[in-house]
Amino acid sequence: MTRSTTPMLVSNVPRFPDSPLAAVAVIPARFAAQRFPGKPLHPIAGIPMVVRVLERARSARKVDAVLVATDDERIARVVEEAGGIAVLTDPDLPSGTDRIWAAVKEMDVAVVINVQGDEPMLEPENIDRVAAFLLANPAFPLA
């Protein structure tokens, strides 16, 4: 899935002693976006957008963990200062999906939910709905 020739940074992938996990939400957050560089750190009412999304995702009840998969130490620092878990990934990864895969590939998890990093008004119930459906329908390949 990963098309990068540079090795991924997997030493900081979180280890959860109670594995396997049922569902994990992952927020891909890239600093060097073409249209809006630094968008994850853009403040919304004084709080970086990525932290707003993280807070909403952590309010979901049907996920065991929420991670932010990022290629940037500034984003990782802000996430960790907000009490979140950041996983540094290869900056050459071509997409958010690749970034998510890099963050979870070492984990024992049944369901991975891609939470878009630019949706600060995301309703946590929507994450719960997706998690519940995929956990109840393990043969369903994608939502």
- In angstroms, the CA 19 to CA 31 distance is 31
What percent of the chain is predicted at pLDDT more than 90? 72
Provide the 8-state DSSP code for 61.
Answer: S
- In angstroms, the CA 141 to CA 78 distance is 33
How does residue 2 score in pLDDT terms, banded at 50, 70 and 90? very low
Average of per-residue pLDDT across 102-128: 93
Nearby residues of 35 by Cβ (< 8 Å), 6 or more positions away = none
Residue pLDDT, tens place only, 18-64: 556 889 999 999 998 788 999 999 999 999 999 999 999 999 999 99
Residue 6's pLDDT is 39
3-state secondary structure of 26: strand
Nearby residues of 95 by Cβ (< 8 Å), 6 or more positions away = none
- In angstroms, the CA 111 to CA 63 distance is 9
- Indicate the pTM of the whole model: 0.86
3-state secondary structure of 92: coil
Residue pLDDT, tens place only, 5-18: 433 333 345 555 55
Q: Which residue has the higher pLDDT, 88 or 18?
A: 88
Average of per-residue pLDDT across 73-84: 96
Provide the 8-state DSSP code for 8.
Answer: P
